[in-house]
Amino acid sequence: MDYWETLDLFEYKNWNDFLISSNRPKKIHLFTTHATQTLWDTRFSKDDGLLFGNEGKGVPEEVHKWANCDRVTIPKYNEGLRSLNLAVSVGIATYEAIRQINS
């Protein structure tokens, strides 16, 4: 990608290093199919972070336990449908957060 130089990129050795970092978002919303709070009921602020697991396995159980009540799901039109793929989910969540922050 041609815009890497414009990003503030931070890499961490592990989850705990990320959690104790002064660079981490103040509030982190974990997006997961295991949440009961929907995207539409979530309020996003400028210093929030959005966290997504990998498409095949999601995030480890320790992250689910850590996130506790800050877990968010994107509602499906029909409960019989499979979940959205990762790229689509990230796009939906990111632009909803941007919409709220800029409103």
Q: What is the pLDDT of residues 47-84, one digit of tens each?
A: 999 999 998 888 999 998 888 889 999 998 887 777 78
Token pair 């990320």: residue: 18
8 A C-beta contact, residue 70 and residue 42:
no
Q: In whole angstroms, give the CA distance from residue 58 to residue 84.
A: 12
Q: In whole angstroms, give the CA distance from residue 21 to residue 19.
A: 6
Q: In whole angstroms, give the CA distance from residue 76 to residue 15.
A: 29
Task: Quote the DSSP letter at residue 14.
Answer: S
Show me where the domains of the chain are located.
27-101
Element (H, E) at 79: none
Q: What is the pLDDT of residue 78?
A: 82
Considering only the top CATH level, what class is 27-101?
A: alpha beta
